[in-house]
Structure 1
């Protein structure tokens, strides 16, 4: 009798142990550490929320500038906007790079990008996102140096971006001190551009070297320019009123195919800065960017023209 009871008891015991064992295994699996992140990607906190992007992007497409920012950080570019492609500053770096736009979706697809960067006003963002992670920035939402740091974060190269910003700030400010010591603290500078039969003057954050001259170097702009262009960034004007906006020094951004007839007028020729040979002509092609490559070129241009170094 005891033997008959013993066998069922052992059977029940085995079943209980087996059940406990299975329960423990299940619990261990549920609480085991999981791989919450992919080492091949990072999460960038964009204007529109978090975006998973490559940790080491290899094929970047730029639809709205930022080309010099990406190139300066050593990241490969496979497609750029027309303005970047035509920039004299990037001529060598982009000689084998395709020109694309937010409408050339088939070409972008063929280029197999792993990251797309543009301004917030580009078209087809949803379709671009289907091709590759697409990150956009709003123009002017942050200053030009913070913008470079943001792109550094996006490309997983924040340390490199910060290092360049700090170094550039120091060099530009030092150059500004030298220039002000030479031309006078009250001397004014106007940035003018001739483009497509129209003249423009610029505030302190609209490329063409304005960030360097007014923000970093702390040079002064004429009161009329402050009044009309500082808030909006730029202001269109006629040759007839140009003398009212002309500073003691003029930076003239000129496109190769621009109408320069205004330079032959007596109104222009009689501007004091013109008569005193204080007009420095900057290549307009490529001047409309505020990236490290462009800024380095512009800083060198200003040092050479203002200081003769």
Structure 2
């Protein structure tokens, strides 16, 4: 009887041992799976381990349209993105957050945070989720989209989007030049609050499309004062000096537009020739693919369908 019990007891010990080791083995497998679900993104501040397929992204910047365009779920955005009419549908149920409201960001349980390099509480944000920041203007608008594509593990999709946009913009630019002339100049002016601004070739408001993609010409005065800095503040009195043959006027709904009632403004050649095309200022300060598509359609209609 004792001889029969010994093999039985040994078998029982092996079963118990196997069961006790199972969770550990599962944990090791899970750990390997988790590791394989991350990628290393080479950010401007060094390598960052981020989710290979992020599902809950918080944006503390103006890159919202880039992320939406690549089909990645957004759970929190900055106030400028939230109030951008271009993204009204996509962000309807998305929370508004800021770099100072860490508790709200924690509640959203993000697996990735994207922001500008000057955001506050960066080290604390890194403790909540992998955080990647970009310096505004360090790379051009198309390279920026490609970088975000790399970050989200969607580089191929981002590159295709860039190639398609460049083709459309170049074709539209050729059509516009054929109509307005090779030497026609275009100014991009914005009315915001009580101030007027004129922009260079890389400050959103469609400047990248007009000057970089379409190669339309900038007035010499604009080139002198705004090309290097990106923008220049104007007074209504000197506006005629900066107005090109065509003017894109970005207007915010609450801006002071009394300058448009002055003789100085009314006597600008572009105004007299009905060559001023007014664009909604809300949302114009973005340069993501969704915004670029919207602005490209606006330029095509303004220059070619009149």
**What TM-score do you get using the length of structure 1 for normalisation?**
0.88
Within the alignment, does 1:125 sit opposite 2:126 as a pair?
A: no
Structure (1 or 2) with the larger CA radius of gyration: 1
Within the alignment, does 1:94 sit opposite 2:110 as a pair?
A: no
Q: Determine the C-alpha separation between the residues in 2 that align with 1:178 and 1:71.
A: 30
The one of 281, 293, 296 aligned to 1:296: 293
Within the alignment, does 1:45 sit opposite 2:42 as a pair?
A: yes
Per-residue CA shift, 1:239-294, capped at 9, x if unaligned? 00000000000000011111111111111111010011110011100000000000
Q: Determine the C-alpha separation between the residues in 1 that align with 2:185 and 2:293.
A: 22
In the alignment, which residue of structure 2 is the partner of 1:279? 276
Q: Determine the C-alpha separation between the residues in 2 that align with 1:147 and 1:180.
A: 28
In the alignment, which residue of structure 1 is the partner of 2:27? none
- What are the ranges of 5 or more consecutive residues in structure 2 without an aligned counterpart? 1-30
Within the alignment, does 1:176 sit opposite 2:165 as a pair?
A: no
Per-residue CA shift, 1:199-231, capped at 9, x if unaligned? 000000000000000000000010000000000
In the alignment, which residue of structure 2 is the partner of 1:31? none
- What are the ranges of 5 or more consecutive residues in structure 1 without an aligned counterpart? 1-33
Within the alignment, does 1:248 sit opposite 2:217 as a pair?
A: no
In the alignment, which residue of structure 2 is the partner of 1:19? none
Q: Shift in Å at residue 65 of structure 1?
A: 1.1
In the alignment, which residue of structure 1 is the partner of 2:162? 165
Q: Shift in Å at residue 39 of structure 1?
A: 1.6
Within the alignment, does 1:193 sit opposite 2:185 as a pair?
A: no
Q: Determine the C-alpha separation between the residues in 2 that align with 1:293 and 1:37.
A: 33
Q: Shift in Å at residue 232 of structure 1?
A: 0.2
Q: Secondary structure at the match of 1:92?
A: coil
Q: 1:189-268 maps to which residues of 2 (within 5 A)?
A: 189-268=186-265
Q: Determine the C-alpha separation between the residues in 2 that align with 1:146 and 1:307.
A: 29
- Count of paired positions: 276
Q: Determine the C-alpha separation between the residues in 2 that align with 1:104 and 1:251.
A: 37
Q: Secondary structure at the match of 1:160?
A: helix
Q: Determine the C-alpha separation between the residues in 1 that align with 2:141 and 2:214.
A: 14
In the alignment, which residue of structure 1 is the partner of 2:68? 71
The one of 58, 79, 84 aligned to 1:82: 79
The one of 54, 57, 78 aligned to 1:57: 54
Q: Determine the C-alpha separation between the residues in 1 that align with 2:287 and 2:58.
A: 18
Q: Shift in Å at residue 68 of structure 1?
A: 0.3
- The alignment yields a C-alpha RMSD, in angstroms, of 1.3
**What TM-score do you get using the length of structure 2 for normalisation?**
0.89
Q: 1:26-37 maps to which residues of 2 (within 5 A)?
A: none
Q: Determine the C-alpha separation between the residues in 2 that align with 1:36 and 1:103.
A: 34
Q: Determine the C-alpha separation between the residues in 2 that align with 1:187 and 1:120.
A: 38
Per-residue CA shift, 1:51-94, capped at 9, x if unaligned? 00000100000001100000000000011111111111001111
Q: Secondary structure at the match of 1:193?
A: strand
In the alignment, which residue of structure 2 is the partner of 1:27? none
